[in-house]
A = this chain, B = another copy of it.
Amino acid sequence: MPVTLKDIAREVGVSVTTASRALAGYPDVAPTTRQRVQQVAAALGYVPNTAARNLQRQRTDTLALVLPTTADLRFSDPFFSEFLSGLVQATGEAGFALTVATGSPNDETATYLRLIRSRRADGFVLVRTRRDDRRIALLQEAGVPFVSFGRVNGTPGVHCVDEDDVHGIHLMVDHLAGLGHTRIACIAEPTRFVKGYHRFRGYCLGLEAHGLSFAPDLVVETNYRQRSGYEAAQQLLAMPEPPTAIIACNDLLALGALSAIQARGLQAGHDVSVTGYDNIPLAEHAQPPLTTVDQPADKLGTLVAQMLTSLIRGDPVAEKQVILQPAAVIRQSSGPPPRAARRR
Which A residues form the contact surface with B (CB < 8 A)? 2-3, 45-52, 54-55, 60, 62, 67, 69, 74-78, 80-82, 84-85, 88-89, 91-92, 97-103, 113-114, 117-120, 225-227, 230, 252, 255-256, 258-259, 262, 280-282, 284-287, 297
Contacts and interface: CB of A to CB of B under 8 A. Distances in A.
A277 to B, nearest CB: 16
A281 B76 contact: yes
A255 B176 CA distance: 27
Contact of A256 (B51, B77, B88, B285): B285
B89 A50 contact: no
B78 A76 contact: yes
A85 B70 CA distance: 11
A251 B114 CA distance: 39
Contacts of A100: 84, 88, 98-100
A97 B62 CA distance: 12
Nearest to A92: B102
Contact of A113 (B45, B113, B281): B45
Contacts of A81: 75-78, 80-81, 84
The 10 closest A-B pairs by CB, nearest first: A47-B117, A51-B54, A81-B81, A51-B55, A259-B285, A75-B85, A50-B118, A47-B118, A287-B287, A92-B102
Contact of A45 (B82, B88, B117, B280): B117
A12 to B, nearest CB: 19
A226 B282 contact: yes
A82 B88 contact: no
B119 A51 contact: yes
Given A55-B49, A281-B226, A119 B2 contact: yes
Contacts of A88: 67, 69, 100-102
Contacts of A92: 101-103
A23 B331 CA distance: 61
- Most chain B CB inside 10 Å of its own CB: which residue of A74, A99, A227, A285: A285
Contacts of A297: 76
Nearest to A60: B51
B97 A98 contact: no
12 contacts: A47-B114, A50-B119, A55-B55, A67-B85, A67-B88, A75-B84, A75-B85, A78-B81, A98-B100, A99-B99, A225-B281, A226-B284
Contacts of A255: 282, 285
A117 B82 contact: no
A281 B91 CA distance: 29
Contact of A226 (B82, B97, B230, B285): B285
Contacts of A75: 81-82, 84-85
A69 B90 CA distance: 12
A102 B44 CA distance: 24
Contacts of A74: 82, 85, 281
